[in-house]
Chains A and B, each alone.
Chain A
Amino acid sequence: MTSATKVPADPRPRIVAEGGAQLLAGGRCRRCGHALVRVFPRCPRCRGEIEPASFGPEGEIWSFTVIHIPPGPGADAPYALAYVDLDDGPRVLVRTDPEAPLQVGARARLGALSDAGDPTAEVIR
């Protein structure tokens, strides 16, 4: 291989299957209890130490949007994004089905990763 193209580190939230549910592998501050989407070196709110914690699968939709333009060359549109406030957990950005109606405050559940490896969620019917 002579290509200079490198696969960059993947910064996306880590979703793990646990007991039939999809959970966010995040972190929690040992000092203030704040829930985080990942294990940072220090808590952004109090600088306490962080321990691994998993969250979900359910939460509440904070907001959402359907985007009609591709986010970059070769990408698809439309696509939908929502922030979900996981129960007792962090606010996490997920992909949702652009055809499915969403509502602020609706209950939602984390789903399996998309084909592209993105975290997903859907409204609980």
Chain B
Amino acid sequence: MSACIWGVGSSQFGRQPELLPAELAWQAVTEALADAGVEEVDAAFVGTVFGAPGVAQRALGGLGITDVPIVTVENACASGTTAYHEGLEAIAAGRYERVLALGIETMTTLFDGPITPEPSDPEQALGLVMPALYALSATRYMDLHDADPSDLAQVAVKNSANGALNPRAQRQRGLSEEEILASRPIADPLTLFQCAGLSDAAAAVVLGPEQRGAGDIPVRASVLRSGSPWDQASEHVWGYDIIRDAAAELYEQVGIGPEDIDVLEVHDAFTIGELVTVEALGLAPEGGAVARLRAGDFAIDGDQAVNPSGGLLARGHPLGATGLAQLAEVTWQLRREAGERQVDGARTALVETMGGGASGLDGNGCVITVLGA
């Protein structure tokens, strides 16, 4: 794949209901276009889950991005990276040269608590809100691997410390294990500080067909999958298989293994999500993520930094914007522009986003991409 990230941008992440979705998008897109050094794009792919019909055109019209094809995609929490993936595919197919991938989500005006269930789904009609889905994985994981709530909390200890170094993050304060475990119980064993916050934000990436200079970040490969059946015949907790299978396809395409990745942004919507994800990506054997986490391997100064941005736990999780914000972070990391969060010697980066909730499926969608050298 010869496409590159030319530029990235994002709004602030956090509770900002006073801003319109379009206003958040203007911040992200203006920064990304300037960063890419382009004034126009040939097409835009826009990821959003709860965005109103026409949210993309409404946002881009205010920037003079009109006339060109604009396509809105929904793929649960992977909506933003799906927009990016489809942009890459369109460039590879020769349809366009400069493509804008944008994610927009305003959530704090929609929800007061957990993401409201989709009532046509049997599990969600029974009350399986997103934190409960991950809590079921956490209960199972702890039982199988002799882990305890303190192990889960360590993910939030690390990511909150990273988020304290990220001026765009929603939560910019390092949290102790005690604070995390003592925060409000949400879905046992998950407490409030083990859940990514409801957030309003937009993030954007400008993609181009070739590398013009050192600031353009080569995309090595990108894989998009939707979930297989997940039921009594599934060996793993929810979401493991889709990530493992997408990663296998990706490593095969790039010709590298998990040990070759220097820095990762992965889907830690809940603490358990990061443990399951790094195992599914092959960074640790099943049940082995806790030991590597506790050894400091996933810290900013560790062997393989995981979520140096603070991840979804600290940055916040405005669904459609999340994937593009992950891509922005690794772009800054690979350019040595990450400031206090900079991972020394970062050359190869991986971004993973997965989302779901549809009954009987191991996730609605998962995108994994490798960037850099």
Q: Which residues of A contact B (CB under 8 A)?
A: 8-13, 34-38, 44-45, 62-72, 75, 79, 81, 83, 85-86, 89-91, 93-95, 104-105, 118-119
Contact = CB atoms under 8 A, between A and B. Distances in A.
8 contacts: A44-B360, A63-B140, A65-B189, A67-B187, A67-B188, A86-B232, A93-B126, A94-B126
Given A44-B229, A90-B232, A63 B125 contact: no
Interface of B: 113-114, 116-117, 119-123, 125-129, 131-132, 135-140, 143-144, 184-189, 229, 231-233, 237, 359-360
B125 A62 contact: no
Contact of A65 (B122, B123, B132): B132
A79 B128 CA distance: 10
B348 to A, nearest CB: 35
Contact of B125 (A10, A67, A83, A89): A10
Contacts of A35: 232
Contact of A63 (B122, B136, B232, B359): B136
B135 A8 contact: no
Given A11-B122, A93-B128, A65 B135 contact: yes
A67 B232 contact: no
Contacts of B122: 11-13, 37-38, 93
Given A65-B138, A81-B136, A90-B232, 18 more contacts: A11-B119, A11-B120, A11-B121, A12-B126, A37-B360, A45-B229, A45-B233, A65-B132, A68-B186, A68-B188, A72-B116, A75-B127, A81-B127, A81-B132, A85-B232, A86-B232, A91-B231, A93-B126
